[in-house]
Amino acid sequence: MANEAVVHVVDDDDAVRRSLSFLLASDGLPVRLHESADAFLDHIDGVQEGCVVTDVRMPGIDGIEFLRRLRIEGLGLPVIVMTGHADVPMAVEALKQGAVDFIEKPFSDDLFLAAVRSALAGHAAETREHARAAEMRERIERLSDREREVLDRLVAGKANKVIAYELEISARTVEIYRANVMTKMQAKSLSELVRMAVAAGLDHESEDPRRV
């Protein structure tokens, strides 16, 4: 599958790459091996779902610089850093640069697989959250200007009569707009409508972005 989650192992040590490849494959996880950060970055356009496992110390681009490059490229895959005991300060720096976890060598198979599974699960949840947020924003974009004004005030916790006063319309008209908003947003209740708006980031907006 094109969007299948793949574990990308980036390490200059061939023995380490082959060992981790066997371990991941034995646990049913698709894996791709890269002999360096450069090799990975050269084919970054083909990288989609999954996570990255990399050594913190590598010739050329090390793990810290690798994380910086990934951030510049906008690749949102979670990164797990492998480190020796003496490299713990580098691993801490890696966390500051965006790594989701680091594991010290030598590590057990169970610890490694648990870290990978956790990274994959977290990324999958984040991907679903982003997709839901995008869907909610699309629904909001379909609202009329007046419907959006009503939605803004509903999310702010204002009662119908308050909304009616602020918009200089009748409470009955507010009810009609509110019903239209519920239908277009596909919300079954006010609480669900508010959750949808929050998912879309509406609670962080000071005004309708369509008017900016």
* For residues 56-76, average pLDDT: 89
Residues 102 and 179 in one domain: no
- What confidence score (pLDDT) does residue 188 get? 92
- Rounded to two decimals, the pTM is 0.67
In 3D, which of 123, 139, 121 has the Cα closest to residue 199? 139
Total count of domains within the chain? 2
Question: Is residue 46 in some structural domain?
Answer: yes
pLDDT band with cut points at 50, 70 and 90 for residue 210: very low
| Residue/partner pairs of 112-115 with CB below 8 Å, 24 or more apart | 112/20, 112/23, 113/23, 113/24, 113/27, 115/80
Domain match, 198 and 119 both? no
CA 182 – CA 168 distance, rounded (Å): 21
DSSP string, 68-132: HHHHHHT----EEEEE-GGGHHHHHHHHHTT-SEEEESS--HHHHHHHHHHHHHHHHHHHHHHHH
Looking at the structure, tell me whether residues 19 and 116 fall in a common domain: yes
Same domain for 127 and 188? no
Domain boundary pick from 102, 131, 160: 131
51/200 Cα distance (integer angstroms): 26
Give residue 80's pLDDT: 94
